[in-house]
């Protein structure tokens, strides 16, 4: 199935390109995702956890950059993964394209060709629902990425701390170092709530349905 998504990043295209290629930085922004291993400069092993009520489902797999075009700001990623308990798997080819957005930001367009197999393939029958869920994940990723950018900017200009002088005591030196902000530690990945995503997808479809009714003539609504 084909899925199209997009999101905006509050950085110029050049900086956004560098940021999105830094997988170790951006992986924690994807809900439920955890980077397990950097295989080489273009391949990564990771997992995604989904929580559906009391049941947790985990997918593990590998994503690899098939191509990168730093001039056109385009990249292609091929990913595949399997559910750890053998309930099925997924393969995806993903194309990313970056273009300038109004102001000084960047619009990131994502085209995904997704194939499901095994027990999880039953969800493929509702491709429209999957598209809505995918957009929610992209929105959550974009929101987390924006917060990370804001936090990085704040750490780049920390409050001035008194610099220790050559004659400063060890205690004063320790106090000055303590005044600096601690390095940010990535939070452990939390499983995605499939129930929350499903409810969100239903809301999106309902809003589209209402919008379509408003665009019709009264006799067309019968």
Please indicate, yes or no, if residue 170 is contained in any of the structural domains: no
Establish how many alpha carbons lie within 13 A of residue 139's alpha carbon, considering only the half-sphere containing its beta carbon.
Answer: 10
Containing structural domain, residue 208 = 2-153+190-221
The pLDDT score that the predictor gives to residue 177 is 47
For position 137, which CATH number holds? 3.30.530.20
Number of domains the chain is built from = 1
Between helices 127-156 and 194-214, what is the axis angle to 10°? 110
Q: What is the pLDDT of residues 84-93, one digit of tens each?
A: 888 788 899 9
Mean pLDDT of the region 8-35:
92
DSSP 169: -
Position 32 pLDDT exceeds 70: yes
The pLDDT score that the predictor gives to residue 143 is 93
Please indicate, yes or no, if residue 99 is contained in any of the structural domains: yes
Please indicate, yes or no, if residue 132 is contained in any of the structural domains: yes
Q: What is the pTM of this model?
A: 0.69
* pLDDT over 90 percentage in the chain: 37
Residue 112: C-alpha distances to residues 18, 97, 134, 135, 191 (Å): 21, 12, 10, 11, 22
Q: What is the pLDDT of residues 136-148, one digit of tens each?
A: 888 899 999 999 9
**Rounded-to-integer distance, Cα 133 and Cα 202, Å:** 9
189 vs 16, more confident: 16
135 vs 7, more confident: 7
Q: What is the pLDDT of residues 182-204, one digit of tens each?
A: 444 444 555 565 555 555 555 65
Please indicate, yes or no, if residue 175 is contained in any of the structural domains: no
**What is the CB neighbour count within 10 angstroms for residue 38?**
13
Please indicate, yes or no, if residue 63 is contained in any of the structural domains: yes
- Give the phi and the psi of residue 12 in degrees, each rounded to 5: -60, 160
């Amino acid at each position: 199935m084909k899925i199209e998504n997009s999101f905006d990043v509050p950085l110029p295209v050049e900086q956004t390109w560098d940021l999105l290629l830094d997988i170790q930085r951006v992986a924690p922004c994807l809900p439920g995702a955890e980077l397990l291993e950097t295989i080489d400069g273009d391949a990564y092993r990771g997992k995604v956890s989904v929580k559906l009520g009391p049941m947790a489902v985990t997918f593990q797999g590998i994503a690899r950059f098939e191509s990168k075009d730093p001039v056109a700001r385009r990249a292609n990623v091929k990913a595949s993964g399997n559910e750890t308990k053998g309930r099925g798997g997924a393969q995806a080819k993903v194309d990313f394209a970056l273009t300038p957005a109004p102001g000084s930001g960047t619009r990131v367009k994502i085209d995904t060709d997704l194939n499901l197999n095994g027990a999880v393939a039953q969800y493929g029958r509702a491709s429209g629902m999957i598209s809505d869920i995918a957009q929610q994940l992209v929105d959550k990723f974009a929101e987390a990425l924006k917060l990370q950018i804001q936090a990085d900017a704040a750490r780049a200009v920390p409050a001035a701390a008194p610099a220790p002088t050559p004659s400063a005591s060890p205690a004063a030196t320790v106090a000055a170092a303590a005044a600096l902000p601690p390095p940010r530690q990535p939070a452990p990945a939390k499983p995605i709530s499939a129930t929350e995503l499903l409810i969100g997808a239903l809301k999106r479809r309902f809003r589209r349905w209402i919008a379509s009714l408003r665009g019709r003539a009264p006799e067309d609504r019968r």
